[in-house]
Amino acid sequence: MNDYLIKAKEILGDKYNSYSETKIIEAMEYLSYKTAVTELPKTTDTEYPILYVFRHGQTEDNESMIFSGWRDSPLTQKGKDQALSLAPKLANKKIQLLVSSPQIRAIETMKIAISHNEKAKDLTIQTDPRIMERNYGEYQGKSKLEIQLEDPEKLMLVRRSFSVPPEGGESIETVCKRVTDFCEEIVPLMKRDNISVAVSCHGNSIRGFRRYFEKLTDEETAQIETPLGQNYAAYSVI
């Protein structure tokens, strides 16, 4: 039994035998999103303030392939290790402000990721709801794998459409609008006070940051994926 099937059996339990192994493998491959992962850009220009942005580490919901959205789900040990792998990468960065999504997984990740930076590790972590994860509405708390197995077309539309929201939730477009609002506030502050900022957030809110700084199209924004923890994007604010 391959790794996908072992994981699926753990997630599906008694429902595992309701699906063919071929269908399960196809669903697991799709939900791995490996082909959609893109390199995070990093400015090399240190003359201007820099915004460092990263995604939280793996959570219990991530491990169980559950839609978290606005749910609070703590980091697993693997998630803590992923956040810790960020620490040496951020250790020597000049960072004067820490901003996190108010969700516990993002705050936990920030604390660990900044822990090797002697000048920044004791800064108060500010929180801002505009950089929270996408609200997944009816899908929140439900199994991604089960939904993918039962209704893959609907799930693909909701997950990969820029403007279509799940019932009772937000579209990617809505998330991007609130992240843009955050950027339009933080960027002038960074310029005025000549400060660099570290931001800990989520996969969908990072879409908003990348759209804002990289001028991505709607389609590009909806298609990109950011791995859990481990890496960051860095944008010069000129």
**Bind-site residues for substrate:** 55-62, 105, 133-136, 144, 159-160, 203-204
Q: Which of 29, 47, 133, 167 is catalytic?
A: 133
The alpha helices in 53-117, defined as continuous H runs, are: 60-63, 77-90, 104-113
CA dist 99 to 35, 109, 172, 219, Å? 30, 11, 21, 28
Tell me if residue 133 is catalytic: yes
Tell me if residue 170 is catalytic: no
Query: CB–CB of 231/43 below 8 Å?
Result: no
Q: CA–CA separation, 197 vs 58, rounded Å? A: 23
Place of tokens 């930076």: 117
* Cα atoms in the Cβ-side hemisphere of radius 13 Å centred on 94: 11
Q: CA–CA separation, 71 vs 56, rounded Å? A: 14
Binding-site residue set? 55-62, 105, 133-136, 144, 159-160, 203-204
Closest C-alpha among 51, 45, 48, 76 to residue 61 = 76
Helix (H) or strand (E) holding 232: strand 232-236
Q: CA–CA separation, 182 vs 100, rounded Å? A: 12
For the chain, report the end-to-end CA distance as a whole number of angstroms: 53
Q: CA–CA separation, 188 vs 237, rounded Å? A: 9
Active site residues: 56, 133
